[in-house]
Amino acid sequence: MNFRKIGVIGAGTMGQSIAEMLAYKGMDVFLMELTPAKLEQGLRSIEISLDKQIEKWALTQAEKKLILNRIHGVSDMSDFSQCELIIETITEDLERKKAIIAAADRACPPDVILASNTSTLSLTELASAAAHPERVIGMHFVYPVFKVDLVEIVRGLRTSDATFKSTKGFVEQVIDKKGVMVFESPGFITTRLICLFINEALHILEEGVASVDDIDSAMRIGYSFQHGPFEMADRFGLDSVHAALESMFREYGELKYRPSFILKKMVRGGQLGVKSGAGFFTYDEDGDRV
Amino acid sequence: MNILVINAGSSSLKYQLYDMKDESVLASGRVERIGMDSSIVTHEPEGRPEVRIVDEILEHTSAIKRVLDMLTHPEHGVLRSVQEIDAVGHRVVHGGEAFKESAVVTPETKLEIRKLFDLAPLHNPAHMMGITAVEAVLPGVTQAVVFDTAFHQTMPQQSYLYPVPMVLYKRHAIRRYGFHGTSHAYVSERAAEVLGRPLEELKLVSCHIGNGASATAILHGKSFDTSMGMTPLEGLMMGTRSGDLDPAIVPYTMNKEDLTLSEVNSMLNKHSGLLAISGLSSDMREITEAMFDGDKTRSSPSRCTPTGSKSTSAPMRRR
């Protein structure tokens, strides 16, 4: 299967990052958002991200222009008619995601693969919204998608072998990332492990064992993490970490997934990390720590 | 039989269409400054006036499509349709140790070329885009690849081994491969013709100077040593490539600037060389024009000389 044109639904953090990576790899990307303002904001954020990469010598001005030329903002699924693959990246809300999958299923011919970037939700349940559940699959990217060469490929109960084979080919040969196959389970591999890691760091903080800085330094220096658990949580978005833990707590019913009270309090207070400028640390407009 | 020969470089693409009945050239041309706002397409149909177009061509796939459009253009073309092209030959920079001679393009060949992307990040991906674009436009046409590294396979061990632990060569084939092989081979043959002496008697240093640049010591017609190394990054300072530098600079910079492997690779391949030294452009023509216009650029062409002369003589000194 040829992959030249890809539809991306949602221009939030993950949608931007996926669109940017796909365009860098040479594909035409059709990025869809609910409102022109949100779309504009998403495209602007992609440009800022590309500028930051130029500052780090990762890209040239010509490459930036080329990438931006390949990303086309759209407002309707009828613009996906030429796409071979659609990736939805909206927030982790089962009903909203089901509605998006159902709409994409109606709008696209049955040979188009419908992928969800969900990190915790049931693929089987998402696929149940489609008349063709065999073409629905999970493709869970890790942020920042440009740098992290890993995708969790998640099969729902009715995902066909052909859909899985094409998706694996896309991940490993077209976008050159390592695809790990995961059977449906809340949080898959990465979200389940990393959220527990962050939650345990929060418990250490709650118990007064160590400070935010020292916990982050210990894990960053001691175990070669790029960021410690608190900066990592800030970068994922504290609301996203909270939602993932809540979802796994509900699904597994085990106390270890119950979100820490500090996390709940910060989310209620609107301290969401990089996206709000403040979380455990403070950040400037470019997402750099102040 | 018509054969289209494509030489896709890092920022340019040259082509020639041959009629193999008499090995005559039907048309030739080039696309220059790929990736810049004002790319230049120059098409020369044999026996007819040259056609020159300035347009924005941002990558190689678009460049190849433009070439095929030119070859079949109602006014400037030499073919009725692209179906009249029977085979396509591509220059490929890096053949690693897998390719000691030219090869027909098969899925296996493409896989091997793809495996060598890391070793020639500016070139092998561009060649692959050329091969893929031709496959899309001319499905089923036979394609062949000719490798730059093949000419240098005659280098003795003393030239191709680096003074690093031998296990790196055994495990990862880390060695000098050399590049611009077809160019150095041709230049040495022409030099022998011009000098009127047999190539087998000559000791030559040939220089290939373009956006990428290399020098080769050719002993009795065979490559003895060359300035480019495992990748086309070593040797002379180039348009956007650093050429030789103290290897310790790489880990030091990665640490100080918190750079990833791909960022440092991109820095050394795309943001260094003449572009970095001049702070203006990777194109000597633009720098020279700016100098004549009184631009206070940080560079002058003479800045190229010390590194240039050192690398040009290095292949001979190693003997």
Q: DSSP strand E in B119-212: where?
A: 142-147, 203-209
Residue A59 maps to a domain? yes
Q: Residue A272: which pLDDT band, with cuts at 50, 70 and 90?
A: very high
CB B275 within 8 A of CB B240: yes
Residue where a domain terminates, one of A183, A199, A224: A183
| Torsion, CA B117, CA B122, CA B124, CA B130, rounded to 10 | 140
CA of A62, closest CA in chain B: separation in Å? 5
CB contact under 8 A, A62 and B271: no
Q: Which two tokens stand for residue A86?
A: 């659609």
For the segment A86-98, the average pLDDT, to the nearest whole number, is 94
Residue A239 maps to a domain? yes
Q: Is A59 on the interface with B (CB under 8 A)?
A: yes
Residue A286 maps to a domain? no
CA angle B254, B241, B204 (to 5 degrees): 130
Phi-psi region of B94 (alpha: psi -120 to 50; beta: other; left: phi over 0): beta
Q: Which two tokens stand for residue A24?
A: 């860098």
Q: What is the identity of the amino acid at B106? A: T
CB contact under 8 A, A60 and B271: yes
In chain A, the number of structural domains is: 2
The CATH number for A236's domain is 1.10.1040.10
Q: Are residues A84 and A219 in the same domain?
A: no
CB contact under 8 A, A58 and B257: no
DSSP A103-143: HHHHHS-TTSEEEE--SSS-HHHHHTTSS-GGGEEEEEE-S
CB A85 within 8 A of CB A29: no
| Torsion, CA A248, CA A250, CA A251, CA A256, rounded to 10 | 50
Q: Residue B312: which pLDDT band, with cuts at 50, 70 and 90?
A: low
d(CA A31, CA A22): 11
Report pLDDT digits (tens) over B200-256.
Answer: 999 999 999 988 999 999 999 999 999 999 988 999 999 999 999 999 999 999 999
- The length of chain B in residues reads 319
Q: Are residues A48 and A179 in the same domain?
A: yes
Lowest mean pLDDT among A142-146, B114-118, B142-146: B114-118
Q: Chain B interface, mutation test: which of A54, A55, A57, most B Cβ atoms within 10 Å? A: A57
Report pLDDT digits (tens) over A95-140.
Answer: 999 999 999 999 999 999 999 999 888 999 999 999 999 999 999 9
- Give the CA distances from residue A36 to residues A11, A42, A44, A260, B6, in Å, rounded to whole numbers and listed in that order: 11, 10, 12, 36, 44
- Is the bond leading into A36 cis (omega within 30 degrees of zero)? no
Element (H, E) at B39: strand B39-45
Q: Is residue A260 marked as binding? A: no
**Is ipTM > 0.85 here?**
no
For the segment A50-59, the average pLDDT, to the nearest whole number, is 92
CB A42 within 8 A of CB A72: no
Choose among B39, B63, B44: nearest CA to A62.
B39
Q: What local confidence, expressed as pLDDT, does residue B61 receive?
A: 79
For the segment A279-288, the average pLDDT, to the nearest whole number, is 89
Measured on CA atoms in the order B134, B135, B138, B141, is the torsion positive or negative?
positive
Q: A85-88 and A113-116 as β-strands: parallel, antiparallel, unpaired?
A: parallel
d(CA A28, CA A85): 11
d(CA B70, CA B66): 6
Model pTM score: 0.74
CB A281 within 8 A of CB A230: yes
For the segment A42-54, the average pLDDT, to the nearest whole number, is 94
Q: Are residues A161 and A211 in the same domain?
A: no
User: Residues near A231 by Cβ (< 8 Å), separated by ≥ 6?
Assistant: A216, A280, A281, A289
Residue A165 maps to a domain? yes
Q: Is A68 on the interface with B (CB under 8 A)?
A: no
Chain A to chain B, count of Cβ pairs less than 8 Å apart? 32
Q: What local confidence, expressed as pLDDT, does residue B305 receive?
A: 45
Residue A15 maps to a domain? yes
DSSP B256-282: HHT--HHHHHHHHHHS-HHHHHHSS-S
Q: Chain A interface, mutation test: which of B131, B249, B255, B270, most A Cβ atoms within 10 Å? A: B270
Share of chain A above pLDDT 70, in %: 100
Residue A289 maps to a domain? no
- The length of chain A in residues reads 290
CA of B225, closest CA in chain A: separation in Å? 32
Measured on CA atoms in the order B305, B310, B314, B317, is the torsion positive or negative?
positive
Report pLDDT digits (tens) over A188-197.
Answer: 999 999 999 9
Q: Are residues A127 and A238 in the same domain?
A: no
Q: Are residues A199 and A219 in the same domain?
A: yes
CB B139 within 8 A of CB B127: no
Q: Are residues A141 and A220 in the same domain?
A: no
Q: Residue B140: which pLDDT band, with cuts at 50, 70 and 90?
A: confident
Q: Are residues A226 and A247 in the same domain?
A: yes
The CATH number for A45's domain is 3.40.50.720
Q: Are residues A172 and A248 in the same domain?
A: no
SS3 of A42-86: the string is HHHHHHHHHHHHHHCCCCCHHHHHHHHHHEEEECCHHHHCCCCEE
CA angle B74, B79, B85 (to 5 degrees): 145
CA angle B17, B23, B24 (to 5 degrees): 60
CA of A25, closest CA in chain B: separation in Å? 11
Residue where a domain terminates, one of A183, A210, A242: A183
Residue A60 maps to a domain? yes
Q: Are residues A151 and A234 in the same domain?
A: no
Q: Which two tokens stand for residue B120?
A: 């020639």
At residue A151, φ and ψ (nearest 5 deg) are -135, 130
For the segment A46-62, the average pLDDT, to the nearest whole number, is 92
CB B269 within 8 A of CB B241: yes
**Mean pLDDT (chain B, rounded):** 88
Q: Is residue A119 marked as binding? A: yes
Q: Are residues A72 and A156 in the same domain?
A: yes
Q: What local confidence, expressed as pLDDT, does residue B316 receive?
A: 55
Q: Are residues A17 and A79 in the same domain?
A: yes
SS3 A197: helix
Domain extent for A92: 5-183
Q: Is residue A75 marked as binding? A: no
Residue where a domain terminates, one of A130, A150, A183: A183
Share of chain B above pLDDT 70, in %: 91
Does the pLDDT of residue B9 top 90, yes or no? no
Residue A288 maps to a domain? no
User: Residues near B193 by Cβ (< 8 Å), separated by ≥ 6?
Assistant: none
Q: Are residues A157 and A265 in the same domain?
A: no
Residues of B tagged active-site: 148
Element (H, E) at A6: strand A5-9
**Cβ neighbours around A55 below 10 Å, total:** 11
